[in-house]
Chains A and B, each alone.
Chain A
């Protein structure tokens, strides 16, 4: 497949995934409270797209998903876009700089993305003048939100990776690492 074909396929898959997950979130997931809070799949989706596709696509996906959420739920336009753009960009940079391969990376990234989303949202709402006291109950909701989002992070990561895998461009660094593993190139002895 040509380079432009790969990019088009990737964009189409990300767009379809975003629309499906946002509507599934609004129509089903939001109606089913877990431990008294709702699972929020959208920051996880943005984080995982960033983690798989890099900072640029991560940020663009974050902006688009945020806009879709704000439009569909009739919320203040721009708030979710701003937070999700930063989450997508940060996850993309994490991949570009460190490319973490541990099995629990998605769980940790999902938890951090959820925390940034919940805390960021609360901060912006306070800055916009919502008349509400900071209570222990609010903190409890934020902590529980992070926990339940972390629970669904791994299954969602598997779905997002499976959908996007076929359209991801070959990464030279990963190819090198794979070759190094298979040929024993990572051994310090072989480097000497």
Chain B
């Protein structure tokens, strides 16, 4: 009897471990459109409404705990914000003159067509968040039915939040910019040199802008924005000029310069986000329209880096 129990116990353990390993191997080896991914998307479709309901019902509880946590940081945040307000006021005065000139340029080149509204933003609510330090992901309540696709950029009022990684019919998983799988081409606001912005592993409050040329000027406090390309694809996933973060410090290493960046978006308290559902097509179409609208002789120049610059300027505004 004792032997039978021991044998059964061992058999169950071996069976479960083997099953886990098989799942892991099959999932890791298959394409994103494979069966296990489809099962996962199906599960997401089923539980999305439940998560949505639970999220709304449990919001007061979350706000209560969040409020307690926020109180501890309130004083330091207040001092920091007061400093920022002073700095921003000074910048505002300086920027107003530039803004006038910029508006005139906008009128000339019709760059207002490259605003975020032209990327068909879909507003979504965050219904779940991964607790794992390896996966900085959130689940939103909008999916294919709302026009959301894989790789669509996700933003909020503060800046770039991430991109859509998986889509179900009424929900989607979003990889945040602090996820270890992310890599976004970015540049420091005033400069033209681009680098790759990646998360600092294990630190959800810090990003690293790498592979900048050694002579790239970088000062703490400068803004880092998307340059309009992504590290692993030829085509742009992100509209140019989306704010990502602020430079906190500069590292002097080897032939390249790297810069520590604090994300603009508060990724711990995401409630409402926007998915830019036509980022690639919209930008390409806009650039094509822009090139066509330029006088003869100037159109050819906008097809390359010149076009990227104009696009960056437009969306950055």
Contacts and interface: CB of A to CB of B under 8 A. Distances in A.
Given A133-B201, A137-B201, A81 B23 contact: yes
A78 B27 contact: yes
A34 interface: yes
A132 B180 contact: yes
Contact of A27 (B9, B21, B28, B127): B127
Q: Which of B50, B130, B137 has the most CB of A within 10 A?
A: B130
A121 B134 contact: yes
B146 interface: no
A135 to B, nearest CB: 6
Interface string A124-151: 1100101111010111111001000000
B40 A74 contact: yes
Interface string A16-32: 00000001111111111
Given A72-B128, A73-B128, A63 B16 contact: yes
B216 interface: no
A23 to B, nearest CB: 6
Contacts of B133: 37, 118, 138, 141-142, 145
A72 B65 contact: no
B69 A30 contact: no
Nearest to B36: A77
Interface size class of A (residues with CB under 8 A): 35 or more
B268 interface: yes
A39 interface: yes
B13 A28 contact: no
A30 B135 contact: no
A30 B137 CA distance: 11
Given A135-B200, A135-B201, A59 B13 contact: yes
Contact of A30 (B8, B39, B129): B129
B51 to A, nearest CB: 6
Interface in A69-99: 70-79, 81-82, 85-86, 89
Given A37-B133, A38-B131, A27 B40 contact: no
B16 A30 contact: no
Interface of B: 8-9, 12-13, 16-17, 19-28, 36, 39-40, 43-44, 47, 50-51, 54-55, 58, 61-62, 65-66, 69, 127-135, 137, 139, 165-166, 173, 180-181, 200-205, 268-269
A39 B131 CA distance: 7
Nearest to B202: A138
A138 B61 CA distance: 29
Given A66-B20, A77-B40, A82-B20, A32 B134 contact: no
Contacts of B55: 27
A99 to B, nearest CB: 16
Q: Which of A29, A71, A130, A133 has the most CB of B within 10 A?
A: A71
Contacts, number: 157
Given A27-B128, A56-B8, A78-B22, 11 more contacts: A31-B129, A59-B16, A67-B23, A72-B43, A73-B130, A81-B23, A85-B16, A85-B20, A130-B181, A131-B180, A138-B202
B66 to A, nearest CB: 6
Contacts of B47: 72
A60 interface: yes
A37 B134 CA distance: 12
Contacts of B23: 67, 77-78, 81
A124 B27 CA distance: 14
B12 A74 contact: no
A39 B200 CA distance: 21
A76 B24 contact: yes
Contacts of A122: 134
A74 B201 contact: no
B135 A75 contact: yes
Contact of A130 (B44, B180, B204): B180
Given A26-B129, A74-B173, A82-B21, A31 B66 contact: yes
A63 B19 contact: yes
B54 A55 contact: no
A138 B202 CA distance: 4
A122 B54 CA distance: 30
A5 interface: no
Contacts of B24: 76-79, 82, 124
A61 to B, nearest CB: 10
A78 B21 contact: yes
